Amino acid sequence: MVATPLSPSHHPLAEDIYRLEAGEALLKDSPDHLLEVVGILASYGIVLDAYSKNLIYMGDYQFLVFFDFFKYCNGEITLAKLLRHWWGDRINYEYAEYTARGMMWHGGGGLDDYLDTPDFRATVDRLVRKKFKFNPAIRLVHRVFGDFTVEHMRYMAYLSGLGQFWRVMSDIFTSLSDRYDRGEVRSLAEVVQHIQDGLVADAARPIVYSVTVRGETFDLLPRSAGLTFLPDTAIPYVEAIFFRGTPFLGTVSYNAQAGQIPSEQAAFAYGALNADPLPTRTAGVPPTLLMQDMRHYVPDYLHELYRKTLRGEGDLLVKICRSFQKSMFCVTTAAIRGLAPHPLETTDPEQQRANRQYLEGWMDKIAPTRIAFANAGCPAPS
């Protein structure tokens, strides 16, 4: 029996499908795109390192601390550090918390499922009784409003889970920058392959979370739960943060009568791949804080590219936002390739058809994003 050759795709993003099947990225390859993506990921890797450490610190030491004034100090509380914090001369850890809340709200994956189990609730109950053994007021609150403390610890688990996820991504982006500096990365396809290799290498990395109170350890996310990096943090992160996101305060109305926000959570399209590059500098638009953090670590070669544009660095945060969005299309490409049912380079017709169906499903998600804007005016690689 002769296998039927793969027919052309009729999907509106067929060109993007063909590019993925050819081993390329969603973002078209060009020297400027390569420089932008690697440069912004180099900066992002440094920021994620700080975010990861703080989230893990909060999960380990700020659990059941209801007035956590010093949660961003990572356990080092000095007058000089507090003055820098109040002055704003610091990493904006608020963005990391914003992201964790977004993941928790959208849910998905084994982490979200486990936090709804009786085992998790029972562990939280034992933890609260141990921590507040000599505090009858909190024990009474826990007895009457048990969901309050359980929800608090769910959030702590998400802080730790996201911190562990970002730990891996920070290392991937930092090593990518090092390889680029050594001349080992010369195309976006190689960028995507580097990220994909990193995702695959840590796919089965356990996601665990334990806290200790007066010598007793409480396994809130035990190893026996079988939670791992790729299915339980990476994939939910892509869905919640890259695609769905949350509406930015100050840019749309939350008034139900205004009808500016979809009534169905699954219809949200405010993620990193959908967002307009609009750093408004207003409180309540956390992505602006991420751009402000990354601007401190932008490599010189990327600064030089920005200076050559019409406005120079006058709209630096907007430029960083655009570069960041382009880089996230490359990260998404790596995830798409890594999760494909068969290697995208396969020559087996049946596997090619299965991959085609898989890619068309992804393109339904990609279609509403800003991929066309990211690729607009991009010259063909020489």
Assess contact for 159 and 100: CB atoms under 8 A. yes
Tens-digit pLDDT profile for residues 302-358: 999 999 987 877 789 889 999 999 999 999 999 999 999 999 999 999 999 999 999
DSSP reduced 3-state for 345: coil
Q: How high is the pLDDT of residue 1?
A: 37
Instruction: Report whether pLDDT(379) > 70.
Output: no
Tell me, rounded to whole angstroms, the distance of Cα 196 from its chain centroid.
Answer: 15
Give me the pLDDT at residue 381, please: 41
Instruction: Please list the residues that pair with 206 across neighbouring strands.
Output: 228
Average pLDDT, the chain: 90
Predicted local distance difference test score (pLDDT) of residue 267? 87
Structure tokens at 202: 């840590």
CA distances from 15 to 12, 24, 117, 135 (A): 8, 11, 44, 63
Domain boundaries, the chain: 14-375
- Greatest extent of the chain over all pairs of C-alpha atoms, in Å: 78
For the entire predicted model, the pTM comes to 0.92
Distance between CA atoms of residues 330 and 299, nearest Å: 19
State pLDDT tens for residues 109-162.
Answer: 999 999 999 999 999 999 999 999 999 999 999 899 989 999 999 999 999 999
Residue 185: name the closest of 375, 45, 34, 40 by CA: 34
- pLDDT (tens digit, 9 = 90+) per residue, 197-214? 999 999 999 999 999 999
Residue type, 205: R
Is the model's pLDDT at 18 over the cut of 80?
yes
Please report the pLDDT score of residue 376 as a whole number.
Answer: 82
pLDDT at res. 65: 93
Q: Which residues contact 132 (CB under 8 A, 6 or more apart)?
A: 64, 138, 139, 142
pLDDT at residue 247 is higher than 90: no
